[in-house]
A and B are shown apart, each in its own frame.
Chain A
Amino acid sequence: MNINLKMLVYQPTNQVVWYFRVPFGMERVVWYLPKLDPELDYKSYYGPEITEFDVFKSYTNYSLIKPDGLGTMSTRAPTDTELKILKLLRARCCAMSTAWNILKYQYENHNILTGPWHDVTDLTVMAEVYQSHYAIDSVAALKLVQFVKQEKSQLANRLCAQKLDAELRLTKAKTIDEINEQFAIINAHNILHTEFDVRTVI
């Protein structure tokens, strides 16, 4: 079976910092890739399952290498200096991925991206629906749909701003402790309670 690995690699050495495995046929599904850092490059592997070595194990011990070319993968143990850099980059990715899940919860909770209000531009057509469903006149219906659209737009804008804020906070963090500190602020910002210590996942 063919697989697709979507990766972020440390540009100078092509060491894989972050990856996820997309099953065959699922390539079009939008996944979140925490590409926060200019040092990271996006690469993908597409081809048969890799049997020459354990990809996951190599990934977790930072020895997975993604050279150029779609169907190539290899391994090399990192030096101590490289390992320190890779851990910091991975910590940022893990923290942002968790932060994104917090925000994604809000998007889904408010049905912002998939609800009927997401793409609508002509509010009069929505007003017609409200008019018939709630037995209100056309003026009231238009007022109501304008309100709902405004509410959805405000929420979407606010969440976009939160995402940008989270990305900038984590990008600027220079140590693992700083990443944890910034993540705590992202949590507090959003009045949520995600317990997370990035040291446990790098």
Chain B
Amino acid sequence: MLDLGQNLLYISHYNLKFTPGSFRQLYRQEFGHFPCPVDRFGILPHCGITEPLSFVNIVPPAEFNLASGTSDWWDRYVATYQLVADKVYTSAGDRCIAVMYSGGIDSTAVLVALMQHPRYREFLDTGRLYIAMTTTSISEYPEFFYRSILPHIPITPTNYTELMLDDNLLVVTGDDGDHVIGCTDTIEFVPGTDDFLNLPVEHAYTYLAKDKSGLLVDLFKGAVARAPFEIESLCQLGWWIGQCFEMQNTMCRPYFWSNTVDLSLMATDRKVYRFFMDSLWDTFSYEYMSTNPNYTTLGSLRNFPKKYIVNYTGDQSYLNKEKLLSQKLICKLQYKTRIYADLTYRLDGVKIST
């Protein structure tokens, strides 16, 4: 039974048979296996693309005012960390906080924001703040770990089941931190060069023309036509495509929700606080990206968060940090390959043609 009539929140690629030339096959070809594109803004029908799957969007709308620009985006960027950290502590209430720490830029920035907040000591001293990590988390930023984490903050191995089943715990993640400014998963639209993000958006259409069906070009043009502001650069384009298709997958990551009974929590920040998916970051992101900020390389997109971290840790060498490892070393399991809008779910390998 395929249940194609039911509205989905999430579907695993294990349940998909990618028909050659289909939207999902072409998307996977460019972005890889794991993103599960969900059409957040209902763009696909306008691009002449028929999606056999029916999703219900649970990503909250972004609130922004493109006329309320500021001349000092850095100040606003730093202030947003503090404001969101404040919301995290308030949201935790009497519960403990577990910070998911991969050692990468986003989770480090989240931890730094929480450590700088006035309520940090209160939570730490009462044993209500700890870090969930793996041994690979150490290798990403060893100076910070040995100096600031190991001697001071309790650490525990990342175990999604335990974390998610503990009702006395708020899980804080840095998910989608790389979607706030540009998107580090942007396709390398101009082969042979790293400096391409500031180039005009038309380069993308040239690159995507390799797909003779024209579906991807139509998709990207359709998305651009429905953007909240004019998309001029490849940097803005990568960011906007991420906004259009990739946020819901992050919210529904199966290893988080595999053992959770109340799946309605997925659409909220009551159990998992996705720091960079907070509405304040959304607002910052939309307003900042509307200015077409000048970034050239994918690495340069991380300048703001790196600078934020270094301002706290003092490790200037971190500004040149490249990504070392990923959390693939965590034993991730999924027990739900399809989650429906009515919060029922299935686990099977039945392939649905797309």
| CB pair B329 A191 closer than 8 Å | no
Contact of A187 (CB < 8 Å), options: B134, B150, B329, B349: B349
Contact B12 A150 (CB under 8 A): no
* Chain A CB within 10 A, most for which of B134, B155, B157, B255: B157
B331 located at the interface, meaning its Cβ lies under 8 Å from any Cβ of chain A in the complex: yes
Are the C-beta atoms of A155 and B150 separated by less than 8 Å?
no
Please tell me if A190 contacts chain B, counting CB pairs below 8 Å.
Answer: yes
The answer to whether A143 and B150 have CB atoms under 8 Å apart is yes
Contacts of A155 in B (CB 8 A): 331
Set B146, B157, B349: member contacting A188, Cβ < 8 A: B349
List 19 additional A-B contacts (Cβ < 8 Å) besides A154-B159, A191-B334.
Answer: A106-B331, A110-B331, A136-B146, A136-B150, A139-B151, A144-B150, A147-B135, A151-B157, A155-B331, A162-B333, A181-B350, A184-B349, A185-B347, A185-B348, A187-B14, A188-B349, A189-B335, A191-B332, A191-B333
Residue from the set B155, B157, B331 with the largest chain A CB neighbour count within 10 Å: B331
Indicate if A102 sits at the interface (CB-CB under 8 A).
Answer: no
Bound-state Cα–Cα, A184 to B33, Å: 16
Contact B135 A188 (CB under 8 A): no
Residue pair A188, B150 in contact (C-beta under 8 Å)? no
Could you mark each residue 151-163 of chain A with 1 if its beta carbon is under 8 Å from any beta carbon of chain B, else 0?
1001100110010
Residues on the B chain within 8 Å of A187, using CB: 14, 349
Question: Is A51 engaged at the interface, CB distance under 8 Å to the other chain?
Answer: no
Q: Are A185 and B333 in contact (CB under 8 A)?
A: no
Whose C-beta in chain B lies nearest to the C-beta of A109? B329
Beyond A143-B155, A147-B157, whether A188 also contacts B329 by CB under 8 A is no
Q: Provide the B310-336 mask, 1 if CB < 8 A to any CB of A, else 0.
A: 000000000000000000010111110
Contact B150 A185 (CB under 8 A): no
CA distance A73 to B335 in the complex (A): 44
- B183-208 vs A, Cβ < 8 Å mask (1 yes, 0 no): 00000000000000000000000000
Q: Does B297 sit within 8 A of A, measured CB to CB?
A: no
User: How far, in whole Å, are A159 and B335 apart by their CA atoms in the complex?
Assistant: 15
Q: Once the chains are docked, how many angstroms separate the CA of A139 from the CA of B159?
A: 24
Q: What is the bound-complex CA distance between A148 and B145, given in angstroms? A: 14
Instruction: List the B side residues contacting A137 at CB < 8 Å.
Output: 151
> Is the contact region of chain A dominated by helix, strand, or loop, or is it mixed?
helix
Contact B331 A158, beta carbon cutoff 8 Å = yes
Q: Does any Cβ of B come within 8 Å of A26's Cβ?
A: no
Task: Pick from A150, A184, A189, A193: contact of B157, CB below 8 A.
Answer: A150
Within 8 A of B (CB), among A171-202: 181, 183-185, 187-191, 193
Contact A147 B156 (CB under 8 A): yes
Name the residue of chain A whose CB is nearest to the CB of B332. Answer: A191
Interface residues on B, range: 20 to 34
| A interface with B by C-beta (< 8 Å) | 106, 109-110, 134, 136-137, 139-140, 143-144, 147-148, 150-151, 154-155, 158-159, 162, 181, 183-185, 187-191, 193
Does residue B337 face the partner (Cβ distance < 8 Å to A)? yes
Contacts of B33 in A (CB 8 A): 193
Residue of chain B at shortest CB distance from A148: B135
Smallest beta-carbon distance B202→chain A, Å: 36
| Contact between A154 and B146, CB atoms less than 8 A apart | no
CB distance from A78 to the nearest CB of B (A): 31
Cα A154 to Cα B133 with chains together (Å): 13
Which residue of A is nearest B152, CB measured? A140
Whether A159 lies near B331 (C-beta < 8 A) is: yes
Residues of B within 8 A of A144 (CB): 150
Give the residues in chain A near B349, CB-CB below 8 Å: 181, 183-185, 187-188
Alpha-carbon separation in the docked complex, A140 to B147 (Å): 10
Q: Which residue of chain A is the closest to B348 with respect to CB atoms? A: A185
- Closest Cβ neighbor of A150 among chain B residues: B157
Closest chain-A Cβ to B63's Cβ sits at a distance in Å of: 35
In the bound complex, CA of A181 to CA of B1 (Å): 13
B150 lies within 8 A of A184 (CB): no
Contact across chains for B331 and A184 when beta carbons are under 8 A apart = no
Chain A residues, Cβ within 8 Å of B146: 134, 136, 140
Does A188 lie within 8 Å of B14, measured CB to CB?
A: yes
**Contact partners of B135 in chain A: CB under 8 A:** 147-148, 151
A144, A151, A154, A181: which has the most chain B beta carbons within 10 Å? A151
- Near A by CB (< 8 A), chain B positions 155-170 give 155-157, 159
Residues of chain A lying within 8 A (CB to CB) of residue B134: 151
Q: List 17 A-B pairs, Cβ < 8 Å.
A: A106-B331, A109-B329, A110-B329, A110-B331, A136-B146, A136-B151, A140-B150, A140-B151, A148-B135, A150-B156, A151-B134, A151-B135, A158-B333, A184-B14, A185-B348, A188-B14, A191-B334
- Is B333 in contact with A190, judged by CB distance below 8 angstroms? yes
> How near does chain B come to A55, taking the closest CB pair, in angstroms?
35
B157 to A154, Cβ gap below 8 A?
A: yes
Complex: A148 Cα to B156 Cα, angstroms: 9
Looking at the assembled complex, report how far the CB atom of B135 sits from the nearest CB atom of chain A, in whole angstroms: 6
